[in-house]
């Protein structure tokens, strides 16, 4: 299941070079993931059990700089669900033309806050994430 979040580049997103700073893209991607998971009621299902979805690896390919007033479309989809981790693929593109700004594949785990460690993805969590997978 693919989800798209639109964001407009604002002045406070820019660095001294007049384009979106590389670190800011992580915030854009996180905002899109939260919207995706909130709309699919994943946040309530997982955090209600004192679990968190934690990034353990993320690699970003920067394709083109984004600048002020550009409307960005951030697509988010789960592409793989394993026994202990899942992968989320995201792309940031210009909303109007689809020109790719950046893309990423991130690996996430379910983290048990009480135990202080990642736990197996099983039962209702496996069913929920599988349902959302590509």
- What is the set of active-site residues? 15
Angle, alpha carbons 63-37-100 (nearest 5°): 15
Strands (E), 65-113: 71-81, 86-94, 100-112
Of 110, 73, 70, 74, nearest to 89 by C-alpha is 74
CA separation for the pair 4, 25 (Å, rounded): 15
């Amino acid at each position: 299941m693919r989800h798209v979040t639109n964001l407009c580049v604002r002045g406070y997103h820019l660095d001294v070079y007049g384009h979106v700073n590389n670190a800011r893209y992580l915030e854009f991607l996180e905002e899109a993931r939260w919207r995706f998971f909130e709309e699919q009621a994943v946040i309530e299902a997982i955090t209600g059990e004192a679990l968190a979805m934690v990034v353990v690896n993320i690699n970003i390919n920067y394709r083109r700089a984004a600048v002020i007033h550009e409307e960005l479309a951030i697509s988010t989809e789960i592409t793989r669900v394993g026994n202990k981790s899942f992968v989320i693929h995201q792309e940031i593109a210009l909303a109007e033309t689809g020109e790719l700004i950046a893309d990423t594949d991130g690996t996430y785990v379910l983290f048990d806050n009480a135990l202080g460690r990642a736990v197996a993805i099983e039962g209702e969590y496996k069913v929920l994430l599988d349902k959302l997978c590509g």
